[in-house]
Chains A and B, each alone.
Chain A
Amino acid sequence: MKSDSLFLIGRRLLQAAPVVMGIIVVTFILTRALPGDPAVFFAGPAADEKSIAEIRASLGLDKSWPEQFWVYLQNLSRGDLGKSISTGQPVMEELATRLPASLELTLMGLFLAVAIAIPLGMLAATRPNSLVDHLCRLVVTIGVSLPTFFTGLFLVYIFYFLLGLSPAPLGRLSIIHIAPDHVTGFYLIDSLIAGDFEVFRAALYQMILPASTLAIFALAPLARMTRAAMLGVLSSDFVRTARASGLSRKTILWVYAFQNAILPVLTTLGMVFSFLLGANVLVEKVFAWPGIGSFAIEALIASDYAAVQGFVLAMALMYVLLNLAIDILYTVVDPRIGLEG
């Protein structure tokens, strides 16, 4: 890696700071926007004047807004997101135990989407108006219009009820299997570490439908962008020159065209991940997946306030991290960066 790449990466890290600050301010505002008095809310229905005042003091609600924000920042830096009312556990702990389930599912969905969308888009771009191209267009149009929860239920009906190919949509493992020892929290990886292929297979089967649901959703924008970017690159001057110089079709496609076409696709990947994190919540509900999305839905219904805000903050930070990773990858992949250095 060239030194100017490192410089760009460093500058990108600095640029993320105001975004993170913005996220923290918004989540702070959301925690103070509770309708009514938060102290009364947290004290519960049986509380009297004195206990409400105590809770107000313990939550720091008797202080001014800037002071409260300072306390909020201090708590955050200690990883303290408050306590969940419904479970009585610290929100941070609740989120941390459920995060691997969500992450495993989302990454699997993203992986499936990328694995299908990029070849599909490339094939469509190299053969305009062919059958593949029309298929690509159809997938793109239908894909963006399908509500994720509907796709999920539809797949359950076909593959579980009608065909009996897939296990019941009830979480990460059916009850006859025991979860592998916790190493990464990803069942697929943990079961391999434990050498238990039976559990690996069961976990994989359990994951196919929800991951496909996410993939169908994420497929459309990725395939559309790959096709458009590839079409643009293939009609550019440098590809014409490469072709005229007699380079093989394979070299032109993979070395010259692909490297350039992948850049806008990487940018789209960030946006797709934003949608996926939202869609993940819906898919977790459909498949009773024990991730942070299900936790957030339960918290929302129970008005478990700290839990929801912790969830929003965690998701936003995850999204920022992913965008950072994509940008860093971008600087590494971009053939134009590093040439001047």
Chain B
Amino acid sequence: MSAHFRHLLYVMRENPVTFFSFVLFFLLMALGLFGPWLAPYDPLASDTANALRPPSWAHPFGTDNLGRDVFSRVITATRLDLAISVAAVSLSFVAGSAAGVCAGYFGGVTDKLIGRLTDTIMAFPLFVLAMGIVSALGNTIENIVYTTAVINFPFYARVARAEANSRREAGFVEAARLSGNGHGRILLFHMGPNIMPPMMVQISLNMGYAILNAAGLSFIGLGVRPPTPEWGIMVAEGAKFIVSGEWWLAIFPGAALMLAVLCFNLLGDGLRDLIDPRMRT
């Protein structure tokens, strides 16, 4: 058994919360991949004779104002919600770590320029900036992805910069330089793998925020359009019925959203324990 695997088992046994988050993570992934086949009903099929029914055996999460099965819609929505945030986080991870590593490794003007860029983005309240960018680029799902990537860019750039900066004079970097590697090779094959662990933690902690942000944008009517099942827009549509007591329309997709965010936040804490045992709290 490899040391890593043993350590993983140890962390799981020691911390049931991390174990729970791993289980939740695999459940989310399964729903994201196989959701459309697992849903008992067609998420778009309306049945007005059965509108606004409370949760029952036939419809565990009840039905909405058009008689659509809320359970099926919540399950089907997993894929879209995860896809948006995974795409956004991947973009900002790639761009942010590239920029951050260059800033930390080269220093000087590169560092100043990239630092100025991240500072400017961070000078805005991020959700508000997201609203502004979506309005400028146009109201589509792709633009929600780009926008979420832009507002998360500084987090990756900062972590990558700090990690690269502390390693620019490290022995293995000097050795690589002396054996005739160019800057590109050093950054990609020597620096890159070394800053991966803290970046993975950052990804996991950031995923939750990306999901919240994307769902918030669709809650105010940007990006995803009805009748597409998506958690944020389902909560928005269900909001009208809360005051008359039909709680299940908004509460179930909202709870799914909360569980997904909770899962990634706990996973991030767990990964940090796994990667850096010193930071364990």
A residues whose Cβ falls under 8 Å from a Cβ of B: 18-19, 22-23, 25-27, 30-31, 33-35, 141-142, 144-150, 153-154, 156-157, 160-161, 168-169, 273-275, 277-279, 281-282, 285-286, 296-297, 299-301, 303, 305, 308-309, 311-312, 315-316, 319-320
CB distance from A281 to the nearest CB of B (A): 7
| Pairwise interchain contact B254-A147, C-beta atoms closer than 8 A | yes
Given A30-B136, A141-B266, A312-B235 contact (CB < 8 Å)? no
Contact yes or no, B119 A22, CB < 8 A: yes
Give the Cβ gap from A74 to chain B, nearest Cβ, in Å. 21
- Give the interface size bracket for B toward A: 35 or more
Lowest 6 A-B CB distances belong to which pairs? A278-B127, A150-B254, A22-B120, A312-B132, A277-B125, A145-B262
Asked whether B126 is an interface residue with its Cβ less than 8 Å from the other chain, the reply is yes
Check: B245 CB closer than 8 A to any chain A CB.
Answer: yes
Q: Tell me the smallest distance from the CB of B82 to a CB of chain A, in Å.
A: 15
A301 to B254, CA, bound (A): 23
Q: In chain B, what residue has the closest Cβ to A29?
A: B136
The answer to whether A281 and B131 have CB atoms under 8 Å apart is yes
**Residues in chain B within 8 A of chain A (CB atoms):** 116, 119-120, 123-139, 208, 212, 215-216, 219-222, 232, 235-236, 238-239, 242-245, 247, 250-251, 254-255, 257-258, 261-262, 265-266
B136 touches A145 (CB 8 A): no
Closest A-chain residue to B266, C-beta based? Answer: A141
The answer to whether residues A31 and B124 also contact, given A147-B258, A161-B245, A300-B131 and a CB cut-off of 8 A, is no
- Pair B135/A145 contact, Cβ less than 8 Å: no
* A149 contacts B235, C-beta separation under 8 Å: yes
Chain B minimum-CB-distance residue to A271: B122
Residues of the A chain whose Cβ atoms lie less than 8 Å from the Cβ of B138? 35
* Given A23-B123, A33-B136, A286-B239, A157 and B128 contact (CB-CB distance below 8 Å): no
**Contacts A19-B119, A33-B137, A308-B135 hold; do A285 and B220 have CB atoms under 8 A apart?**
yes
Query: Do A277 and B128 contact each other (CB < 8 Å), given the known contacts A141-B262, A147-B212, A150-B254?
Result: yes
Chain A nearest Cβ from B222, distance in angstroms = 7
B243, A308: Cβ atoms closer than 8 Å: no
Contact B254 A144 (CB under 8 A): no
Inter-chain CA distance A23–B127, complex, in Å, is 15
Take A161-B242, A300-B135, A301-B221 as given contacts and tell me if A315 and B265 are in contact as well, using a CB distance cutoff of 8 Å.
Answer: no
Given contacts A150-B254, A285-B219, A305-B135, contact A312 B128 (CB under 8 A): yes
Verify A153–B128 contact, CB threshold 8 A: no
Please name the residue on chain B nearest to A273 by beta carbon.
B125
A315 touches B258 (CB 8 A): no
Among A30, A144, A150, A279, find the residue whose CB has the most chain B CB atoms closer than 10 A: A150
Q: List 15 A-B contacts (CB under 8 A).
A: A26-B124, A35-B138, A149-B235, A153-B238, A157-B251, A160-B243, A161-B243, A161-B244, A275-B125, A278-B216, A279-B127, A297-B220, A300-B131, A305-B135, A309-B135
Quick one: which of B125, B137, B208, B265 has the most chain A CB within 10 A?
A: B125
Bound: A279/B128 CA distance, A: 9
- Say yes or no: A300-B221 contact (C-beta < 8 A), given A30-B133, A30-B136, A147-B215: yes
**Closest approach, in angstroms, between the C-beta of A147 and any C-beta of chain B?**
5
Contact A153 B222 (CB under 8 A): no
